[in-house]
Structure 1
Amino acid sequence: MRRVWVPYVLVLLAVAASLGGLAVRPATGAPQSTVDYVIVAGAAGLRWDDLDPHRTPALWQEASRGSIGWLSVRSARRVTCPADGWVTLGAGNYAAYPRVAGAGGCETPKPDLDQPDAIGANIVNQRNIVRDNQDGLPYGAVPGALAESVRCTVAVGPGAAIAAARPFGRVDKYRAELPPDPANLLSDCVLSVVDLGTVTGSGRSRAALVERADALLARVVAARPARSLVLVAGVSDTDRSSRLHVAIAEGEGWNGGWLTSAGTGRDGYLQLIDLAPTILTALGKGSPEKLIAGRSATVVPGKPGDVADAVQGDHDADRRASAQRGVATIFFTVLAILQLVLFALLVPVMVRARRHSGPKGPALPAPRVVAAVELALIAAALAIPAALLADASPWWRSAHPAWVFGIVTGALIVAGTAAIRLGPRYKRTLWPMGAAAAFGAVVVGLDLLTGAQLQLNGVAGYSAVNGARYAGVGGVGLGVFVTGLLVLAGCLAHGVRKPFRPLVVVVLGGLGVVMVGSPYLGADPIGAIAVTAGVCVAAALSTGGWLTFPRFAWSALAGLAVTIGFAAVDLRRPALERGSLGRFLTELASGSAGPALQRVAAANGEALLSSPLTVLAVVGAVMIAFCQFSPWGGLNRLFGLHPGIRAAFAGTTVATLIAGVLGGSALTVAGAAAAALVPTAVLTVLRVLLHAADRTRPEGETDGPGGPLLRRPALTRVTTSPKTRPPG
């Protein structure tokens, strides 16, 4: 009886360890020193490659003295134009400004201003802007929330007026242009917003706009009041392409480091919505919890002394992110096409490999064909892990980044395929599947342990320009990681005694839950909950048999216990330190979760229709269905021989679908999992079919051009009485 209970006790310990790993969160960092004044100097379109120590001395000096970072200017629109950026800054949430009908590109901000006196101004249509953001967009943004949180604001320029206007349209103090001596103006209110102009175009015309913005900033810095913080931000894009922009914070307590926030979780990266709570925190004021979605910025050490070494050349994140978008689309589209063609060519091979019960049937595929097919399937399964490794190379600096990335990825695929093929256990049925799964899990796991540097702005990762994720594991990495762990657990479980198989699954799966959910590593609590559900299902099925109601109930209770425990710990934290699960449950309890659900549904719809990974998921599902339900399939036979593999398939399906739907990425996670799993699954099925022995032919009949068929003794039915039947 002690031996019977040992696996269950160990499983409970693994679950407890998983919950403990999820509950631990890193410190959010000590708040920066408070100041008496904050000056926001914004220039739409300003990027780090615009700065130069000679042409823009004021910007360069502020960047050298202050803390810096890459600013993601995501707003409520796909492309953030200048007016969208300014209104998002003032809302502290993803907002949008009305577009001019028929406008093809981004326009210079031109708010409908009314100046009834010589002090302030009114934005006439501000109430309509607030209503459009509240009713027509799923973010619940309130333009003017920042201005409403302070006593008085000053705005200089039309863009600044949009950011500094209160929800009813009033701008407390407004100047169309910066006066010759702005000292008195900048000290009138605790918050001043200055529009440095819009930086657009290229070449000499762009350089002239940057120099003009630098000259205005120099006047602002010279006239700043004592105990003030200067925030310099490239608040938006200026064309239809999205880029990363400048973020500088210079003042007492804000010098010599990287900017970061709890919203990004990545040193050196900040969101546009983080500027509003940063301003309020610097002034010693609290952020209105239900209005402002950003997180206050903090400073972490590690910034190089030279600005050029920090943000230009090899560290130009904007250039890498721009190259990533185009190459990622090409890579996943080509991968989907190649896997579709490969699976189509495999169908006749599998039909011929299926041994028929009759005396005649198609000849077996030639050994050379089988060997070539196996190598192609292994290469297909290694494509995404190889692409992740290829992101360690500076492919994005090439004049032809797509070609360089393709060559590097192809070389890594060939090397990985050769390593699996030359392995001493290659002839074993489960070796290719287990080795490829382990390769993918190890690559993603090592990347998470080293800070997810390969996934940030990587082809097989995520782009900081999109503003969805800046740290931890992305959807593609999550799909490869959970697939690798569960399939590896299924292969290893085949070599242990039946009662201990759930232990193997839960130990490896618990490791995955901790790595995915830990804020130090994967930083994806929704993904951790999905992996927990998948691990529970896989553990329940690992000993064989069907997913009975008691098994389902126990696995659901285990997953629910981990989820509730993690949620309870998260809800006990301060509101601004909660993770995505805690924030969602808080919104659900207050009745304000509707916009969050609407955002997730909209993101799922967009990802479903636009991502090539959707094609990979569908193609993989069709191929698995063919292998399982067609007369020539062999997947059920594989599941019968190796129940751990069936458990891994079930757990992977549950985990990836839940992670994709709840995370707003639709079939992205499932598509990555299918790309990594289905090719080696088909290879294993093919091996099972080729090793089957249920075909019988007359003695001496040959198997076509391949040579004589191995002769077997004739099958004879022997009838025995109960008394003479041998035992067993």
Structure 2
Amino acid sequence: MKAFDRLRRVAPPRRPGSRAWVPYLLVALIAVASLAGLAIRPGTTATPGSADYVIVAGAAGLRWDDLDPQRTPALWQEATKGSVGWLSVRSAMKVTCPSDGWLTLGAGNYAAWPRAGAGSQCAPAEPALTQPDNIGANVTDQRSVVQSNQDRFSYGATPGALAESVRCTVAVGPGAAIAAARPFGRVDKYQPTLPADPAKLLSDCVLSFVDLGTVSGSGAAREAQVAKADALLARVVAARPERSLLLVAGVSDTDRTSRLHVAIAEGEGWNGGWLTSAGTGRDGYLQLIDLAPTILSALGRPAPEKLFAGRAATVAAGRPADITDAMLGAHNADLRAKAQNAVAGIFFTVLAVVQALLFLLLVPVMVRARRHAGPRGPALPPKRLVDVAELALIAGALAIPAALLADATPWWRYGHPAWVFGIVTGVFTVIGTLVIRASPRYGRTLWPMGAAAAVGAVVVGMDLLTGARLQLNGVAGYSATQGGRYAGVGVVGLGVFVAGMLVTAGCVAQWFSKPWRPVVVVLFGGVGVVVVGSPYLGADPVGAVAVTAGVCVAAAISTGGWLTFPRFAWAAVAGLAVTIGFALVDVNRPAAEQSSLGRLLSELANGTGGPAMQRAAAANGQTLLNSPLTVLALAGVLMLAFCQFSPWGGLKRVFGLHPALRAAGAGVTVATLAAGVLSGSALTVAGAAAAAVVPTAVLTALRVLLHAADRTRPEGETDGPGGPLLREDRAMSG
């Protein structure tokens, strides 16, 4: 009754015109604040130092765990002196083989060398070469390679774009020839092996590529290959010209698994820091496509317009002086990413199967719960069964937030990482479930749903506030080896955060009178839009646009009723105002400072956005068929449809009693579907959202069913299992 009294005080009789404009003013102020939060972006950082020469020493397959101060002294010394990072070698192919890596390096964009077969090992970089003048060389297949990249892929890559941007290039070795070849195949100066005295060769042109060889396999054979590469690098270091920048890169994988590789930049201004770029947004991470703009920036040359996809590298402070502390042991991101790739598929497959089975088992329980209203209907399901079902549903909703917390532990360092991760995730799930169950408010209708949703939103939000460390190379996050995201919120985190934020907003809004419910939804939504879209936090402008649309829909129907045309019009105007304002600010920035949304809009404006749309469509199709989160999304939709449209569902009654909760569900649907389609992840965002909120929505529907025949009782009487439902439901429905 205290809650009921409190709610009645919130909504006193309102005189006509008595501050009716206040909620609308607050909604407008929140929208403006959200736009301001999205518009703030960090400025670009200039390249740390200029150089007269740049030397790129590449070794296919070279990883940080190959380095050792005794076995590879030259590599270790360069890493100690220079700036270092993890190199993601994504190319136009799913797995980057040596020829793909060298070609991508020379294109400054995602490219691929035509290949045949799909064995477990990559073929070495062995292009067909001719040397008619004994000075340079010709890559005989270069023209067909250029045509293949333009016809088969939608990245707009032009192999040889880097070489075309400088006057002269030198290549030593077959892989280097691929990177140094111009679009028509000419390599200005070429040597198959490093000369005895390479000083003159390395100073003949401003840009030199040196193939240090291929590192593959394991054990003693791999160590011998690394030692050979180290010996070649030592000769390059001894002969490099003054004022030169040396880039050491593990340019590709050497088998059909994706790994993180070595990136070292050593020269004036590049000493003792983390390598990073605007493309990754993460200290210590660099993309292969970032090397080409880095080279031209160091040489003071402009990048070719619309050809490069990467950003010039910069240096961030804070790297430990000891390379072991920085890149190996507990900080070996490559080993963690490798474990993540193996465990993530298992986790989401198990979660999809468990939630689908849980929903199937609950159908007969809900049927029995509804039929008790009739005089001859079956008895209610046993209270113990209902209690167990509720706990299982809460645990299902907390599985992904628990997996995020599990990524804070070093599970990947053990011999059986999948089992360790599963046990840790289970422990966090049980703890969260027991905390929600032990709350004094557990008997309230919306408490389990609101509490579980809030936990998910808080876990993801706190992770973003602390640098998204749980999502990077995390099972419930994203892998740097895939080359899609290195910082901010991932698709799984976005789904959990949006669903948690809007459902929490819907539950809280029920405590306010109708005119104030849109304010509550927009307040929560405004914070969510900034968290998702801010480059300092979620760094997902496309996701922010989708969340804006979802928040506007939720606010429009949070007072009850349907999405009428006037409501749709107001929601559309508010959403478009924030979206267009942010887009205009982003598009008018310099190209190097634009977010992914700004670049996409710029491409659409100048007629070059077709490839980006093709990539998004292809990614949607592939993800739709391959992701276990698609199963989670479909299972959630089917269960919600049963709860909504069947006589035993109960969800229709829940939405009738709690219109703000129905509004939250509509907003989550709009936001997650839009975010998935626009980002090329299909139903992945919606699947994560469904996993986080559908189980507790079913729990809420079950509670309402169990009390469908209840009548309001005199004050002082106690309610049955599930707590005081009908009286509170009527109060909270306004």
Q: Which TM-score band applies after superposition, normalised by the shorter structure?
A: over 0.9
- 1:486/1:648 contact within 8 Å kept: yes
Query: 1:27, CA displacement in angstroms?
Result: 2.3
Q: 1:284 aligns with which of 269, 287, 300?
A: 300
Q: TM-score, structure 2 length as denominator?
A: 0.94
Q: 1:218 aligns with which of 226, 231, 234?
A: 234
Q: 2:517 corresponds to which residue?
A: 501
Please say if 1:634 is aligned against 2:654.
no
**Alpha-carbon distance between aligned partners in 2 of 1:606 and 1:360, rounded to the nearest angstrom:** 52
Deviations 1:217-268 (A, max 9, x none): 0000000000000000000000011100000000000111000000000000
Deviations 1:494-538 (A, max 9, x none): 001110000000000000000000000000000000000000000
Q: 2:190 corresponds to which residue?
A: 174
**Alpha-carbon distance between aligned partners in 1 of 2:508 and 2:118, rounded to the nearest angstrom:** 61
Query: 1:102, CA displacement in angstroms?
Result: 6.8
**Alpha-carbon distance between aligned partners in 2 of 1:29 and 1:584, rounded to the nearest angstrom:** 22
**Alpha-carbon distance between aligned partners in 1 of 2:46 and 2:146, rounded to the nearest angstrom:** 34
Q: 1:27 corresponds to which residue?
A: 43
Q: 1:700 corresponds to which residue?
A: none
Please say if 1:240 is aligned against 2:260.
no
Q: Secondary structure at the match of 1:469?
A: coil
Deviations 1:448-496 (A, max 9, x none): 0000000000000000000000000000000000111100000000001
Q: Secondary structure at the match of 1:246?
A: strand
Query: 1:359, CA displacement in angstroms?
Result: 2.5
Residues 205-604 of structure 1 aligned to structure 2 (within 5 Å): 205-355=221-371, 358-604=374-620
- 1:355/1:694 contact within 8 Å kept: no
**Alpha-carbon distance between aligned partners in 2 of 1:2 and 1:47, rounded to the nearest angstrom:** 69
Q: Secondary structure at the match of 1:689?
A: helix
Query: 1:128, CA displacement in angstroms?
Result: 0.6
Q: Partner amino acid for 2:586?
A: D
Quickly say closer, same or farther: Cα 1:101–1:364, change in 2 above 3 A. closer
Q: Secondary structure at the match of 2:482?
A: coil
Name the stretch that deviates more: 589-598 or 248-257.
Answer: 589-598
Query: How many residues of Structure 1 are paired with residues of Structure 2 in the alignment?
Result: 696
Q: Secondary structure at the match of 1:52?
A: coil
- 1:120/1:173 contact within 8 Å kept: yes
**Alpha-carbon distance between aligned partners in 2 of 1:32 and 1:134, rounded to the nearest angstrom:** 34
Query: 1:548, CA displacement in angstroms?
Result: 0.4
Name the stretch that deviates more: 270-279 or 357-366.
Answer: 357-366
Residues 135-154 of structure 1 aligned to structure 2 (within 5 Å): 135-154=151-170
Q: Secondary structure at the match of 2:633?
A: helix
Q: Partner amino acid for 1:545?
A: G
Residues 113-128 of structure 1 aligned to structure 2 (within 5 Å): 113-128=129-144
**Alpha-carbon distance between aligned partners in 1 of 2:467 and 2:203, rounded to the nearest angstrom:** 42
Query: 1:98, CA displacement in angstroms?
Result: 1.1
Quickly say closer, same or farther: Cα 1:16–1:320, change in 2 above 3 A. same
Q: 2:217 aligns with which of 198, 201, 204?
A: 201
Please say if 1:43 is aligned against 2:69.
no
Deviations 1:640-684 (A, max 9, x none): 000011000000000000000000111110000000010000000
- 1:516/1:522 contact within 8 Å kept: yes
Please say if 1:658 is aligned against 2:658.
no
Q: 1:720 corresponds to which residue?
A: none
Q: 1:611 corresponds to which residue?
A: 627
- 1:79/1:242 contact within 8 Å kept: yes
Q: 1:726 corresponds to which residue?
A: none
Please say if 1:683 is aligned against 2:699.
yes
Query: 1:561, CA displacement in angstroms?
Result: 1.0
Q: Secondary structure at the match of 1:354?
A: helix
Name the stretch that deviates more: 93-102 or 429-438.
Answer: 93-102
Q: Partner amino acid for 1:452?
A: A
- 1:41/1:217 contact within 8 Å kept: yes
**Alpha-carbon distance between aligned partners in 2 of 1:152 and 1:31, rounded to the nearest angstrom:** 22
Q: 1:721 corresponds to which residue?
A: none
**Alpha-carbon distance between aligned partners in 2 of 1:390 and 1:562, rounded to the nearest angstrom:** 36
Q: Secondary structure at the match of 2:21?
A: helix
Structure 2: unaligned runs, 5 residues or longer: 1-16, 712-719, 721-734
Q: Partner amino acid for 1:196?
A: L
**Alpha-carbon distance between aligned partners in 2 of 1:101 and 1:617, rounded to the nearest angstrom:** 35
Deviations 1:153-192 (A, max 9, x none): 0000000000000000000000000001000000000000
Query: 1:103, CA displacement in angstroms?
Result: 5.6
- 1:385/1:443 contact within 8 Å kept: yes
Q: Secondary structure at the match of 1:187?
A: helix
- 1:355/1:693 contact within 8 Å kept: no
Q: Partner amino acid for 2:539?
A: A
Q: Secondary structure at the match of 1:236?
A: coil
Q: Secondary structure at the match of 2:480?
A: coil
Q: 1:56 aligns with which of 72, 90, 107?
A: 72
**Alpha-carbon distance between aligned partners in 2 of 1:485 and 1:207, rounded to the nearest angstrom:** 51
Quickly say closer, same or farther: Cα 1:69–1:434, change in 2 above 3 A. same
**Alpha-carbon distance between aligned partners in 2 of 1:579 and 1:357, rounded to the nearest angstrom:** 57
Query: 1:271, CA displacement in angstroms?
Result: 0.3
**Alpha-carbon distance between aligned partners in 2 of 1:430 and 1:436, rounded to the nearest angstrom:** 10
Query: 1:556, CA displacement in angstroms?
Result: 1.1
Q: 1:87 aligns with which of 92, 103, 113?
A: 103
Q: Partner amino acid for 1:560?
A: L
Quickly say closer, same or farther: Cα 1:101–1:329, change in 2 above 3 A. closer
Deviations 1:529-586 (A, max 9, x none): 0000000000001000000011111111111111111111011111111111111111
Q: 2:171 aligns with which of 140, 151, 155?
A: 155
Query: 1:104, CA displacement in angstroms?
Result: 5.4
Q: Partner amino acid for 2:269?
A: G
Q: Partner amino acid for 1:544?
A: G
Please say if 1:10 is aligned against 2:26.
yes
Q: Partner amino acid for 1:72?
A: S
Deviations 1:604-626 (A, max 9, x none): 11111111000000000000000
Q: Secondary structure at the match of 2:381?
A: coil
